[in-house]
């Protein structure tokens, strides 16, 4: 089933906070609740966040009591601002909302027609995400050889998208092609998306894996036990700098030092050509309790009065990136030229 989907005039989303212990689908009827769900990471992963926000805007249309197109546009604009503030780093969030708002502005008939158009565009965006992921997966799987061991950071599978996945979708496709692969899964602290979500997905697909602590990756890379690194991206700058889950930069450094190819898998909607380099990407800092609340054998790890910083993303500079996999092909350095061509679908 899809991570994010519309059913019976409600937005349905898999609650990713409680996996793998429980599988539960939550329902939403208001855009503010969707914004809170995005902030609280009920849904996460840039493509899934974008689809959830698009459907959240559709909910806002049905929430609005306005009978005029101008009044409905004002309500949709306010809802869009609320949803955009939920997760600032993931560019798909703003991209999806802006796309749906352009559709709303294009309707010149009735408010009800506008509501229908907004919902239709959100559904179209979600459907396109699945097809884009499968195209990316084909391009990326060609980079994987039979027998490869791959390190993967965070979660980039079906749970991070509407369906199939980005980097994990590449791995899944290689497996379905019959390639015998093995995945080393970074725990991805502090929210442990790797240990909780990626491992759970790999079990569903029957792909062999082992969970490793984030700081073990360097050992395996230096020992020559890894052939590829695949990660996702929440925003990629025009020069190929990649913002992804915290810890990606350290993984890229270790991979580069040991000559192991490092590939972000990035839908072109995640490439922000308006940003010349990664230092311009806004970086989210989350609640310190996500760090301080970690437990070991049922006991709190940190002292009671401890303080913490909880940076959610880091930026990997393009010099550490071997290639960037998109649905339109693989971009190689110099990324300023190759990424722009692929975003514009001019391979």
- Point out the residues that are catalytic: 234
Query: Dihedrals φ, ψ of 149, to 5°?
Result: -105, 130
- Which DSSP helix (H) or strand (E) runs through 272? strand 271-272
Q: How far is CA 2 from the centre of its chain?
A: 14
Residue 221 Cα to chain centre, angstroms:
25
> Could you tell me the two tokens for 314?
């880091």
The C-alpha atoms of residue 165 and residue 339 are separated, in whole angstroms, by 20
Contact 71, 64 (CB under 8 A): yes
Query: How far, CA to CA in Å, does 50 sit from each of 57, 145, 168, 170, 291?
Result: 11, 32, 18, 20, 26
Helix (H) or strand (E) holding 26: strand 25-28
Which of 227, 169, 224, 158 shows the shortest CA–CA distance to 197?
Answer: 158
Rounded-to-integer distance, Cα 209 and Cα 294, Å: 24
Residues in the chain: 347
Handedness of CA 98, 100, 106, 109 (dihedral sign): negative
Signed CA dihedral, 217, 221, 226, 232: sign only: positive
**Which residue matches tokens 């239709």?**
120
Of 229, 267, 223, nearest to 248 by C-alpha is 229
Please answer whether residues 265 and 169 qualify as being in contact, where contact means their C-beta atoms are separated by less than 8 angstroms: yes
State the helix-helix crossing angle for 111-141 and 167-176, rounded to 10 degrees: 60
**Nearest C-alpha neighbor of 232 from the set 252, 213, 216, 214:** 252
């Amino acid at each position: 089933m899809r991570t994010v989907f519309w059913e019976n005039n409600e937005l349905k989303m898999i609650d990713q906070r409680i996996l793998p212990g429980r599988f539960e689908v939550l329902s939403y009827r208001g855009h503010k609740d969707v914004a809170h769900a995005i902030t609280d990471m009920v849904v996460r992963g840039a493509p899934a966040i974008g689809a959830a926000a698009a459907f959240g805007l559709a909910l806002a249309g049905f929430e609005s009591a306005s009978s005029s197109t101008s009044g409905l546009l004002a309500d949709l604009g306010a809802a869009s601002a609320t949803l955009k503030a939920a997760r600032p780093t993931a560019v798909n969030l703003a991209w999806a909302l802006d796309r749906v708002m352009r559709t709303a502005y294009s309707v010149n008939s009735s408010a009800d027609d506008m509501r229908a158009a907004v919902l239709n565009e959100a559904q179209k965006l979600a459907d396109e995400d699945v097809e884009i992921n499968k195209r990316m997966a084909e391009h990326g799987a060609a980079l994987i050889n039979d027998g490869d061991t791959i390190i993967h950071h965070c979660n980039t599978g079906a749970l991070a998208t509407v369906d199939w996945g980005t980097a994990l979708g590449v791995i899944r496709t290689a497996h379905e092609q019959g390639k015998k692969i093995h995945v080393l899964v970074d725990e991805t602290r502090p929210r442990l998306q790797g240990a909780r979500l990626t491992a759970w997905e790999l079990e569903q697909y029957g792909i062999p894996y082992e969970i490793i602590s984030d700081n073990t990756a360097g050992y395996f890379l230096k020992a020559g036990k890894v052939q590829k690194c695949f990660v996702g991206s929440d925003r990629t700058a025009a020069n190929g700098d990649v913002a992804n889950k915290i810890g990606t930069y350290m993984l890229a450094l270790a991979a580069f030092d040991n000559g192991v190819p490092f590939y972000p898998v990035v839908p072109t909607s995640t490439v922000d050509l308006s940003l010349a380099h990664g230092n311009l990407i806004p970086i989210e800092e989350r609640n310190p309790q996500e760090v301080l609340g970690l437990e070991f054998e049922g006991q709190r790890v940190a002292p009671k009065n401890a303080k913490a910083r909880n940076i959610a993303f880091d930026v990997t500079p393009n010099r550490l990136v071997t290639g960037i996999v998109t649905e339109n092909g693989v971009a190689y350095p110099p990324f300023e030229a190759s990424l722009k061509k692929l975003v514009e679908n001019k391979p």
